[in-house]
Structure 1
Amino acid sequence: MATGGNFLANSPKKGYDAYETYIEDPSSVEEKLFGHSAEESDDKDAPAVFFCDKCKLPVGDSLSWDGSDDKRNHIHLKRVTENVLVSKDARLHEDSKGSPCIIVDLVCRGCQTVLGMIYKSTPISMDHKRYTFCFMVAKIGSYELGTASQMLSGGGANRQPVTLEVRDDVERQLTEMKMMVLSMARHLEELEVKDKA
């Protein structure tokens, strides 16, 4: 699919509600994405990767963070991956009553889901949103680096990789042990024969 194509040609222009994702009880976007509120976060937060919630392609990361809009349940990023296509077709979008904006859609390259928008033209009160990648939290997921907790048992960090030298040494030791066990068994048989005689 070409980046410049009209991939929303079949979408109705009126009544298009992909961006009407207002929430009744607006908890913070950080809590929904990272599992903690903005008040709980500190400077030691690990970076997070954002991905399309439908096909799981990565679309950006928290190192490009440019803010959030809790009221509309959006996050804003300065940069995104090549998995995000920017529509060439601008359209009118009324963000709130009396605040018409011109936007273009952000679409996932993998599954063509509309993930968000870029505000091209806004009223003065919304200038802070202009020319950032605005994602709908409902359409993306996140993974915070360093949060994995599952480990394999049996050695952990001190376990050495098995190399050819280690394998040869283990095989040599097993052969020596086998020879010793055979020798002891032979010696035990000799002792049993002497006891019977």
Structure 2
Amino acid sequence: MANREKTPQRPRKSSLDQTFETSIDPSVIGDKLFGHEEAEDPEDGPVVFICAKCKLPVGDSLSWDGTEDTLQIRLKKITENVVVGKETRMYEPDKRSMCLIVDLICQGCHSVIGMVYSSTPRKLDHKRFTFCLNVADIDSYVLGSANKMLAAEGPSEQLVTLEYRGFVEQQLKEVKLMVVSMAQRIEEIESGL
């Protein structure tokens, strides 16, 4: 039998116990979407991307298109909460690349959260006509990550079962009988005065 070397497995990142994460690591999201993680946590759900300022949803990981840097993520689709600007402008991502872009604007707070490349050099063609969201301008929420529940109001609180209900009804009858007999005695005392 051949002696196989085990490839070292990269350590899994611990999931954040927060409702809204303040930063997004696009490589982690890409790994989860495309199955690059060795053992995917079944509790991890799709990611909803939200505007960092007004918290309106702007897209989700089901329309993921990719990323190659930590500054932007690309989506194939966005929500109706994002407006594509009307004015095209020049953008220079590096010294040798000139692009034409249109801003993506959050409809809730009117802040620019990304761009659409309408004209690119050949090396950036993969970005053309996708929704590129700026990581600095969005937050994310993982569906299914909520874990807080209302706790019982103390150790004496118990569930209402048929037996418990019968017990409570019996005690209420006894209290009612006692109140009626006390009212009769008060009437007798008042009539004697």
TM-score range, shorter chain: 0.5 to 0.7
Please tell me the residue identity of whatever aligns with 1:29: P
Partner of 2:48: 49
Return the letter of the residue paired with 1:66. Answer: D
1:85-138 Cα shifts (integer Å, max 9, x gaps): 001110111111110001000000011110000000101111100110000000
After superposition, give the CA deviation of every residue in 1:28-87 in whole Å (9 maximum; x if it has no partner).
4245999xxx7578485410111000011110111111111325x100011111110001
| Unaligned residue ranges in structure 1 (runs of 5+) | 1-26, 187-197
Code of the residue aligned with 2:64 in structure 1: it is W
1:180-195 equivalent positions in 2, closer than 5 A: 180=174
2:146 to 145, 148, 171: 148
TM-score (norm 2): 0.64
| Aligned CA distance change for structure 1 residues 78 and 173 (closer, same or farther; 3 Å) | same
Partner of 1:65: 64
Partner of 1:133: 131
Deviation at 1:177, TM superposition (A): 1.9
The number of residue pairs the alignment matches comes to 147
In the alignment, is the contact (CA less than 8 A) between 1:64 and 1:78 conserved in 2? yes
Map of 2:78 onto structure 1:
80
Letter in 2 for 1:47: P
Could you tell me how far apart the structure 2 residues matched to 1:41 and 1:138 are? 29
Give, in whole Å, the separation in 2 of the partners of 1:128 and 1:86. 19
1:178 maps to which of 153, 168, 172: 172
- 2:94 matches 1:96: yes
Partner of 1:29: 26
The structure-2 alpha-carbon separation of the partners of 1:85 and 1:144, relative to structure 1 and needing over 3 Å to count, comes to same
Find the counterpart in structure 2 of residue 114 from structure 1: 112
Report the TM-score when normalising by structure 1. Answer: 0.62
The gaps in structure 2 that reach 5 residues or longer are: 1-23, 182-193
Q: Secondary structure at the match of 1:88?
A: strand
SS at match of 2:54: coil
Tell me the secondary structure at the aligned position of residue 87 of structure 2. coil
Aligned partner of 1:20 in structure 2 is: none
